[in-house]
Structure 1
Amino acid sequence: MCRWMAYQGDSIYLESLLFEQEHSLVHQSLSAKKSEVTVNADGFGLGWYDEREEPGLYHEILPAWSDCNLKSLARHIRSGLFFAHVRASTGTATNRSNCHPFSYKNWLFMHNGQIGEYDSLRWQLDRLIPEYLYNERRGATDSEVIFLLMIANGLETNPEQAITDTLAQILDIMKSKNIKEAFRFTSVISDGTDMIAVRFSSDEQCPSLYCKKFDDHIVVASEPLEFSGNGWDLVPESCMARIKNRDYQITPLPALLKMAV
């Protein structure tokens, strides 16, 4: 499983969280503690907001710990809202187009998890992507399909409903095809101002998701950036965390609880 983190707060240099923390994301790429997979070496990506409306992006197929470009960029880029992701592939190729985060206009999305038996569902899921969005598909991951379906389901006008509808849509298709392998989904999405993080699984092995509020910022991550984990709140399963103005509110996803395959 992948590892990721997202930041909202005062503008900082990216290196302060990507490299300088005790259990930074780059450290997690070598030694994850809350994941089935210890090493996440199938590429990485950054997404950040600055003066422009659309986010900047950087993707690379090298392991995060071995790319000198990442270290240089993180030392010089400042942002008040950014995403970072280290990838452990669940079957698709290791190339830049499959690296997170994914973007559309002013939106960023990244994900940890997988759609069970995705290969047997891929054709059917692709058919749900509207024609006007299909050319936005760059890679072959289930994560990108989920993001495009959210956009099709109204992400730009009602993100909470679009997220819920998309998860339900995928679960319905899995159920119709009698898929028994789990759908696991821990993600974060942003419009450049606020963020929404989701922790959901159709079984009892939901990928981890943590939030921590500081005086001048908030961090959402697959696992704490310190070994102690002090002050990091584990988001409950089947819940959504709305992150706004350096604070967060957690609400359940009750409609999905009855739809688990």
Structure 2
Amino acid sequence: MCRWLAYSGTPVLLDDVLYRPEHSLIDQSLHARMGVETTNGDGFGVGWYASHLSTPAVIRDTGPAWSNRNLREISDHVRSSLFFAHVRASTGTAVQQTNCHPFRHARWMWMHNGAITGFSELRRDLMMSVDPALFPSLEGTTDSEVMFHLALTLGLDRDPPGAVARMTGLVERLGREHGVAEPLQMTIAVTDGERIWFFRYSSGGDSRSLYYSSRVEDIRALHPDLAFLRHLSDETRLVVSEPLGDLPGVWNAVPESSYGVVQPGHHMLRHFEPQPA
């Protein structure tokens, strides 16, 4: 499937997170330890917010992240306080730019690791549930993009956790109507440019890996010799498909059937379950 990360906090160069860690996302694109596939080379994407803009910039390409010179160049020059990055391993849909994550709509970004089982059979019913006003912005052929547009349809602007829960409930209901016992596997990150919501859920209760970083002040106490921590605010957090390194006390597994939110002054983790759409 895929590997992804979401960053929020002190503005940093993309390079500091994408390339420099011991087991960075670029390393994971070649040598994932916890994914279904070791190699995630079916495209990549990065999306970030600049302080003077309300909508994110997004770059996506179909080649592997580990050898992309444009990504290397951007990462050395772009600094942001909130960004997403994703390396893709296709679950069957075409390797094309419009199928690469993150997906964007107005101020929102969305990325996903997982799959809708039987998506080719469910696709028509799912797409017919998308708000007609949003339908023209569906560009690709992935289940991930359809999930995003369903969440937008079901109230993402007003209630992100509720919208994702209703999207999940709809996918599961339609899946079971088509004879799919366990329709959904997902770890999702979604942001409005101010907060990040992240979700770990699967119909079978065996979701893909997802981790969040500990508080910076706690990591400083454990590892006072790490110089780069001195420049990070206590609000800085990462959410990742798998840890970027092996330092003790830095990474915490997101529990099964949970969602969390990263926002200034407050972070929380709560139980997640599908709701009727």
Q: TM-score range by the shorter chain?
A: over 0.9
Deviation at 1:39, TM superposition (A): 0.3
Are residues 38 and 229 of structure 1, via their aligned partners in 2, closer, same or farther at CA, if it must alter by over 3 Å? farther
Are residues 38 and 244 of structure 1, via their aligned partners in 2, closer, same or farther at CA, if it must alter by over 3 Å? same
Contact 1:14-1:77 at 8 Å conserved across structures: yes
Query: In structure 1, what is the equivalent of residue 110 of structure 2?
Result: 109
In the alignment, does 2:91 pair up with 1:90? yes
What does residue range 203-222 of structure 1 map to in structure 2 within 5 Å?
203-212=204-213, 213-215=215-217, 216=233, 217-222=236-241
Are residues 82 and 53 of structure 1, via their aligned partners in 2, closer, same or farther at CA, if it must alter by over 3 Å? same
The ranges of structure 1 where at least 4 consecutive aligned residues each deviate by more than 4 angstroms after the TM superposition are none
Deviation at 1:230, TM superposition (A): 3.5
Query: In structure 2, what is the equivalent of residue 54 of structure 1?
Result: 55
Query: In structure 2, what is the equivalent of residue 223 of structure 1?
Result: 242
Aligned partners of 2:103, 2:46: CA distance in 1, in Å? 10
Aligned CA RMSD, in angstroms, stands at: 1.4
- SS for the counterpart of 1:154 is coil
Are residues 246 and 113 of structure 1, via their aligned partners in 2, closer, same or farther at CA, if it must alter by over 3 Å? farther
What does residue range 1-261 of structure 1 map to in structure 2 within 5 Å?
1-50=1-50, 51-212=52-213, 213-215=215-217, 216=233, 217-228=236-247, 230-245=249-264, 247-255=266-274
- SS for the counterpart of 2:137 is coil
Aligned partners of 2:248, 2:151: CA distance in 1, in Å? 32
Aligned partners of 2:157, 2:181: CA distance in 1, in Å? 32
- SS for the counterpart of 2:76 is helix
Deviation at 1:246, TM superposition (A): 6.5
Deviation at 1:253, TM superposition (A): 1.5
Are residues 229 and 87 of structure 1, via their aligned partners in 2, closer, same or farther at CA, if it must alter by over 3 Å? farther
Are residues 229 and 209 of structure 1, via their aligned partners in 2, closer, same or farther at CA, if it must alter by over 3 Å? farther
Aligned partners of 1:136, 1:61: CA distance in 2, in Å? 20
Deviation at 1:189, TM superposition (A): 0.3
- SS for the counterpart of 2:117 is coil
Contact 1:32-1:38 at 8 Å conserved across structures: yes
Deviation at 1:175, TM superposition (A): 1.2
Q: Which runs of 5+ in 1 are unaligned?
A: none
The C-alpha deviation readout for 1:45-73, integer Å capped at 9, x for no partner, is: 00000021100000011100010110000
Are residues 135 and 239 of structure 1, via their aligned partners in 2, closer, same or farther at CA, if it must alter by over 3 Å? same
Matched residue pairs, number? 257
Letter of the 1:127 counterpart: M
Contact 1:224-1:232 at 8 Å conserved across structures: yes
Deviation at 1:231, TM superposition (A): 1.9
Deviation at 1:126, TM superposition (A): 0.8
The C-alpha deviation readout for 1:6-65, integer Å capped at 9, x for no partner, is: 000011100001000000000000000111110000000000000211000000111000
Identity of aligned residues (%): 37
Aligned partners of 2:130, 2:183: CA distance in 1, in Å? 22
Are residues 57 and 229 of structure 1, via their aligned partners in 2, closer, same or farther at CA, if it must alter by over 3 Å? farther
Higher-Rg member (1/2)? 2
- SS for the counterpart of 1:76 is coil
- SS for the counterpart of 2:80 is strand
Q: Which runs of 5+ in 2 are unaligned?
A: 218-232
Letter of the 2:216 counterpart: F
